[in-house]
Amino acid sequence: MSYEPPAPPANLPPEVVDALNESAPERLRDVAAYAEALAEHKDREARLEEEAGDDGVEDQPDDLPDDVPAKATVTIKEINDNRYYYWQWRDGDTVTSKYKGPVNPEEEI
């Protein structure tokens, strides 16, 4: 491990770099965890938006609950090192999730 501080990405705004440089290690770990979760959320939203344009419903699971719309997809969320399936769908500008069950590593989708 180098004794020199890491170089920030060139596309990171200077005010963000300054705020991070002034932060304590624990705060930086919190920021890193939040940034990773936020990136996954935005990726998922983009995927749901892209899938909303698809008309095919041929991959729709048979176990769809009555209160989950047919356009819902199954997403895996990791919470406290445990993985869970959630139904997820877009309703206007919001993304709605409903718990489906724990992920069995032998039966991942």
Q: What is the pLDDT along the chain (109 residues), one digit of tens a residue?
A: 678 888 998 999 999 999 999 999 999 999 998 888 888 888 888 888 777 665 444 455 567 788 888 888 888 888 888 889 898 988 888 888 888 889 877 665 5
- pLDDT of 74 reads 86
pLDDT of residue 29: 93
Q: Is residue 18 part of a domain?
A: yes
Domain containing 29 equals 14-107
84 is a domain residue? yes
**How many separate helices (H) and strands (E) can be counted in the chain?**
2, 3
- Tell me what pLDDT residue 57 has: 45
- Give how many domains the chain has, as a whole number: 1
What is the C-alpha to C-alpha distance for residues 53 and 37, in angstroms, rounded to an integer? 25
Residue 6 lies in a domain: no
Those residues with Cβ within 8 angstroms of residue 2's Cβ, 6 or more apart along the chain or in another chain: none
Q: What is residue 56's predicted lDDT score, i.e. its pLDDT?
A: 45
- Give a yes or no: residue 8 inside a domain: no
